[in-house]
Structure 1
Amino acid sequence: MIRPGNALLDAFIAGPDRAVQKWIDYFDAYDRLLSPWRGRALTFLEIGVQNGGSLMMWRDYLGPDARIIGVDVDPNCRAMTEHGFEIWIGDQADPAFWDGFKAAVPSVDVVLDDGGHTMRQQLVTFDALFPIVSNGGLFMVEDTHTSYFPSHGGGAPGHPGTWMARVKDLIDQMHAWYHAPIDTADQVMAAVTIPSITIFDSLVAIEKRRRSPPIALARGDGGHQKNPPAMDYIAMRRALRVPDGGV
């Protein structure tokens, strides 16, 4: 069920001659994730252009100040340059392609991977592009159910080398403050740059934002137990007998 007043659905409906397909649950998810970006100057990268309908939908939704870039392996997608979009033709599973892209586009605010959905494509794309996502930006991957499809390199839950296996690993890394060796926790990429990972059905959104080490604050002096005014993750670990060398 899509909530009334969904501006992305309005943009989807606005172009009946545009070839575009989205799972119905995506409209609420994307409106929730991307509504703060509407009307702003941002660089939005979509991998998977196909017929270009989604690029037009995103432009209608995000507004005229958005710089929208499309990437596809099909040279026919260059036709979308006639509509004012920047189009790159290349294989998203090729790290060398992304090296060339990043030399020309050193920073993006939002990445949407709606490409080929194979495990190699999704993993190579994340490894290549997450480092250039701006502070406060988003990295999103569609059709993550392919992690369970052997045809795309996936398999049953727990199958190694899938995108969803990487997401589960990132969740653990995001919490490295609480289990990694204390002297290395602040060197774990996800711990210092990923404050949230939002998982929807077949869609994952990873926020990138520089983080400080966790600290808990307390106020008020009522009650029979006194709380310290502040406790960092190191004090918490030691209070709970977590070894400094990690678990």
Structure 2
Amino acid sequence: MSLWLDFLTNQDLLIHKWKHYFPIYEQHMRRFQGQDVLMFEIGVSQGGSLRMWKRFLGPHARIVGIDIDPRSAPAAEDQVEVRIGDQSDPAFLQSLIDEFGVPDVVLDDGSHRMDHVNASFDFLYPLLPKNGVYMVEDMHTAYWEEYGGGVGVPGSFIERCKGLIDSLNADHARGALPSDEFTRSTRSMHFYDSFVVFEKGATTGKHAPRVGKPLFE
């Protein structure tokens, strides 16, 4: 069953997602289906999406929901855990790593405040394994002042991502840009309406040789 059909036929806990997000989820998460995968979702609300991920990823998946509101706790069930804490608190995030291990997939659907989004990304993204996926949704808030955003505002996560595009390509800048851990560990960045996805996977120094017969000798 596709995620979109699961959403349309859901009779379980409430799921609140934008319609155009579903193809994005499927594109970047489909390869984890049936695998022993650990997913963190920041932002639980009523918990419907936690159970949707469980249905989509399969019987070997472990889903951990993170929320600051204790009312989210009852969403836990088999394969689904909920932990209450602040997504911007490194000590809390470290406690999750200590308890569950390093996630393969992170979806930030939390407070959408730029300081919180940046803090979670700073802590969790470097830990993700090769082939891990980090997704940040509802990034229209990156343009809203009440969330710490705004067009061209340095603290905006979207503005930060613009700089990370340069970091992704630093190896090709002929020394003009420093190569760093983000450069070495990130395979791709994907931008959608209100949504950013980072995919791990080292590509540095692995350019394929040119093959084939040239058109002109």
Q: In the alignment, does 2:172 pair up with 1:172?
A: no
Give the one of 199, 217, 222 matched to 2:209.
217
**Correspondence 1:67 to 2:59:** no
**Unaligned segments of structure 1, at least 5 residues:** 1-5, 226-247
Deviation at 1:88, TM superposition (A): 1.1
Deviation at 1:224, TM superposition (A): 4.0
Q: CA deviation at 1:72?
A: 0.4
Q: CA deviation at 1:135?
A: 0.9
Q: Which amino acid letter does the alignment assign opposite residue 46 of structure 1?
A: E
Pairing 1:112–2:104 present: no
1:103 aligns with 2:80: no
Q: Is residue 79 from structure 1 mapped to residue 74 from structure 2 by the alignment?
A: yes
Counterpart residue identity of residue 200, structure 2:
K
Q: 1:84 to 1:76 in 2, by over 3 A?
A: farther
1:163 aligns with 2:157: yes
Q: List per-residue Cα deviations over 1:129-182 (Å, max 9, x = no partner).
A: 1122121010000101111000100012x1111110111111110011022638
Residue in structure 2 matching 1:145, options 115, 140, 150: 140
SS at match of 2:132: strand
TM-score normalised to the size of structure 2? 0.92
Supply the RMSD in Å over aligned alpha carbons: 2.0
Q: Does 1:33 align with 2:28?
A: yes
1:78-112: CA deviations, max 9, x gaps?
Answer: 21234542111100122222122222233111000
Equivalent pair of 1:11/1:58 in contact (CA under 8 Å):
no
Aligned partners of 2:61 and 2:79 also within 8 Å: no
Q: 1:85 to 1:193 in 2, by over 3 A?
A: same
Structure 1 residues 216 and 37: CA distance shift in structure 2, 3 A: closer
Question: Partner of 2:129 in structure 1?
Answer: 134
> Would the aligned equivalents of 1:109 and 1:138 in 2 still touch at CA under 8 Å?
yes
Partner of 1:206: 198
Larger Rg: 1
Aligned-pair CA distance for 1:204: 0.7
User: In the alignment, does 2:5 pair up with 1:10?
Assistant: yes
Unaligned runs of 5+ in 2: none
Alignment: residue pair count: 217
What TM-score, normalized by structure 1, do the two folds share? 0.81
Sequence identity percentage: 37
SS state at 2:131 partner: strand
Contact 1:197 1:206 (C-alpha < 8 Å) held by counterparts: yes
CA contact (8 A) 2:114 2:148 kept: yes
